[in-house]
Chains A and B, each alone.
Chain A
């Protein structure tokens, strides 16, 4: 929250500086901001709908059940897949991770979930393709998936 406010403050300050230095350029910048936003809006709305549908089916309780205590390799696999296909904002994901840990899920499962959640975005792939093309988007996500699982296994070995 504090960070969001800081982010707003910094942006406002930069915008003010820009405005005093060159009104026309600032107008062009804001025009550009709006156009970029409008350009991505259809994908943005689709992603939000998908998240809603997905999270309503894949509730936190369901996730706990799949990744919980004694889920082992099966849990790591489900954690990676769930993390890849969902898009959960940090303010929900981290409390969920912490709750999972308290209810007995291993560090490996949690790390796999968090890492794939952040780095792999299956539902946002249409947006990524729009900017980076199909090959690069698929490649980046596949690599991110492999590395996320690798990192999770190492974290599990070190912390457990």
Chain B
């Protein structure tokens, strides 16, 4: 019991430090500090509204899609089709980029190809469908389409470069880490 408490204090250390910083901000400038708390609250509500389905899908993905199927779909040898599947998975998602990391973790655990996981992250960050629609309505269709088309090769390039730069051993460590985390 004592051990878990201590472990949790350690896990939340950074959060407590930030809490103290926010309180200090409030002492320094009350309005600024209050505003910081208000923004944290607004953001928290926004994120909490989108996170439940993301994590439920993660759970379903983990139990229903076994390793063999994931390898067949996006693993080594899945070729362009695997990259397209990873891209669509990321684009059809919702939620902030960091919600993609745990799902990417499940993909790694089930031995998706490394570059495909990075494509998934890239698509999640840049080509999410609701974001594109929002972008078109606020910045115009031309701006959105141009940015979208330019970003397609960028997503692939980032995946190819990271796949090349990281050594086999470094990737192995990442895969083992994903295995351990779940």
Contact = CB atoms under 8 A, between A and B. Distances in A.
A26 B170 CA distance: 34
Given A51-B40, A131-B178, A154-B150, A140 B134 contact: no
B53 to A, nearest CB: 4
Contact of A133 (B46, B97, B170): B170
Interface residues of A, number: 76
B158 A111 contact: no
A140 to B, nearest CB: 6
A67 interface: no
A89 to B, nearest CB: 6
B69 interface: no
A131 B181 contact: yes
Nearest to B158: A143
Contacts of B96: 87, 89
B56 A155 contact: no
A115 interface: yes
Interface in A40-80: 40, 42-53, 55-57
Interface of B: 11-12, 14-15, 18-19, 21-22, 25, 32-33, 35-41, 43-44, 46-47, 49-53, 55-60, 62-64, 94, 96-98, 101-102, 104-105, 108, 118, 121-122, 125-126, 129-131, 133-135, 137-139, 142-143, 146-147, 150-151, 154, 157-158, 161-162, 165-166, 170, 173-174, 177-178, 181-182
Closest 9 CB pairs of A and B: A52-B40, A33-B59, A29-B59, A11-B53, A56-B36, A3-B130, A49-B18, A98-B138, A94-B138
